Structure 1
């Protein structure tokens, strides 16, 4: 039986020259031109209409231009050099060639003026629904290019970070004790030097990203934010109201801590949350799920959830069972009654771990208060 799952996404190793090889800003473009040219470079999603002279006077052999706006004579010249040019697609509600992760302001642009349905996030979801139903091969290709670009940006962002995943369902409502507890856990882990990563949606996912956002502030900030958010406990019936309250919190306390959200348009009826500072949003849920878990080298915490969280537990258990990612990583399930009675994933996980290295990397705890010490203990056992 193979150790590596055939469709799994592994975080891609960074080439030592990637910082020079990929050009994702005009400043990087100008430095490359000044230091010897663009030959062999990958230029992502830049407006180069003001860089026509540089393009005409610089070698671009074997370069690739992904979604870069250029004047016609510049585009003709780089093609004549042998460069590969993927033109911008201005009618799309998203940029398939993007060189960076999303931010909340980008995905929710237009929320305050026209409501959620006018935002890029909602328009991209509707495009996805329409093109998936059509079976359009060109749209499928664009989705694949987009998701690969997002994975590349995610690896760049997380390089060197100690990432801990917090997984849980969307049912945890603002104003509940469970939501507040998850937020305090996200804050504590962030203050401990970890990068919190979630599925990027509402409920427990939002609470964990909120906690990370609150990390730089005094403790009273989180209490006040929780009270404010409770005005719109759930993203139904009004997703617009739910999102606007979150942005009200961000306006009251700008400059919060960093964390990552990794949602998907496959579940587009669930919006991304506004507290993840960096958002890797995918079309393909399988790539999103496996990629999220694969990047959480510091462990994953599983809060009470339903089918999606159960899936994540066993998506994580499989590479831990086979030790196919360099060794098992910690798994902490929170809420004994939930995981042994309501959805008894824990007994099965224990059975799988028998006589395996992962046996020392799994734990079941009663509350979020036990999580930091448990993660530290499992990490120590992992290191030993």
Structure 2
């Protein structure tokens, strides 16, 4: 067996940041402090905690989307707390305290992808984006901020390496297999792999991290299962079921992070990222993903979205004044110098800047982990 890859934890720090995100945390705070004053209680079902809510000091507390009895809600509001009640009829929780899991987003897949919370959330987004409802836009903003907070808590202390690449990379190709081997190598080296969370190169890298704890032979076997459904077109349902078939055959895979968006609703999240931070705002998602890649980013061949990510990442590196830009590794010389010549511009930007020592171009995907190490990742 290979070393267990890095495991980001769902981190809770109620003792100093005063957030309560689970019933266990709520009970602990109430039993030890006898007070909820100035705490933020986030998406915790408190229906069975009426006695505690009636007796505890709730001065300055904020309850975000916490179900509670009418009696408890009336009391805590009268006692100085601010109560944001759950919003009925939504396919998502805008106040959620944790990032998503694949099982959560794909719940109901047996009835078809259209029945899942992921598809229903996208449908809601399409409807409310078109009608311009200010309340809906507020809910989207609250949701995305909650997801960002959860992602920050998840990644405390993690060495995160991003793997960026196009969604069109098909299962069953050598390029897909190479991206999977990259994700596996990075996870085994102790990095937390983070991707855009979608299909193609993103799925491949998350798959590689998922198979990292297993013997080497597992990855080719998993690739063979997935190759039977090369793309999410024409059927997201079949595409997702193949991924869950792999997860069922080899349960308990290694963790990684996916950061997808409902902005690209035609592009479903992949099921191999254990932790999925899904956003409505693509701009928030892009900036947040790259900012959290603290140990570097590997850019696989891609089109417009990947080119955008190259320069979104290069901009803060260019202005980094402390000499600590994050490493950037571009894979496939011909792609980045001829097909989409981002590399010459990147090198020109890097000239005489601290980031010059933190960028590299390699021919083959197998060279990326060593290049990342050489650049200080």
Which bracket does the TM-score occupy, shorter chain normalised?
A: over 0.9
Match of residue 84 from structure 2: 86
Q: How far does residue 20 in structure 1 lie from its aligned partner after superposition?
A: 5.5
CA RMSD after TM alignment: 1.4
Match of residue 21 from structure 1: 18
Match of residue 356 from structure 2: 359
1:52 to 34, 41, 50: 50
1:176 to 155, 173, 188: 173
TM-score by length of 2: 0.95
Q: Is it true that 1:150 corresponds to 2:128 in the alignment?
A: no
Q: Return the alpha-carbon distance in structure 2 between the equivalents of residues 17 and 273 of structure 1.
A: 31
Q: Return the alpha-carbon distance in structure 2 between the equivalents of residues 15 and 279 of structure 1.
A: 18
8 Å contact kept, 1:302–1:334: yes
8 Å contact kept, 1:319–1:325: no
2:270 to 273, 289, 298: 273
Q: Return the alpha-carbon distance in structure 2 between the equivalents of residues 20 and 322 of structure 1.
A: 31
Q: How far does residue 17 in structure 1 lie from its aligned partner after superposition?
A: 5.9
Match of residue 133 from structure 2: 136
Gaps of at least 5 residues in structure 2 are 1-10
Do the aligned partners of residues 326 and 74 (structure 1) sit closer, same or farther apart at CA in structure 2, a change above 3 Å counting? farther
8 Å contact kept, 1:97–1:149: yes
Q: How far does residue 90 in structure 1 lie from its aligned partner after superposition?
A: 2.4
Q: Is it true that 1:296 corresponds to 2:255 in the alignment?
A: no
Q: Return the alpha-carbon distance in structure 2 between the equivalents of residues 378 and 61 of structure 1.
A: 51
Q: Residue 364 of structure 1: SS of its match in structure 2? A: strand
Q: How far does residue 324 in structure 1 lie from its aligned partner after superposition?
A: 6.5
How many correspondences in the alignment?
366
8 Å contact kept, 1:23–1:29: yes
Q: Residue 47 of structure 1: SS of its match in structure 2? A: coil
1:165-314 correspondence to structure 2 within 5 Å? 165-314=162-311
Gaps of at least 5 residues in structure 1 are 1-13
Q: How far does residue 15 in structure 1 lie from its aligned partner after superposition?
A: 11
Q: Residue 28 of structure 1: SS of its match in structure 2? A: helix
1:58-77 correspondence to structure 2 within 5 Å? 58-77=56-75
Q: Residue 376 of structure 2: SS of its match in structure 1? A: helix
8 Å contact kept, 2:13–2:19: no
1:22-37 correspondence to structure 2 within 5 Å? 22-36=19-33, 37=35
TM-score by length of 1: 0.93
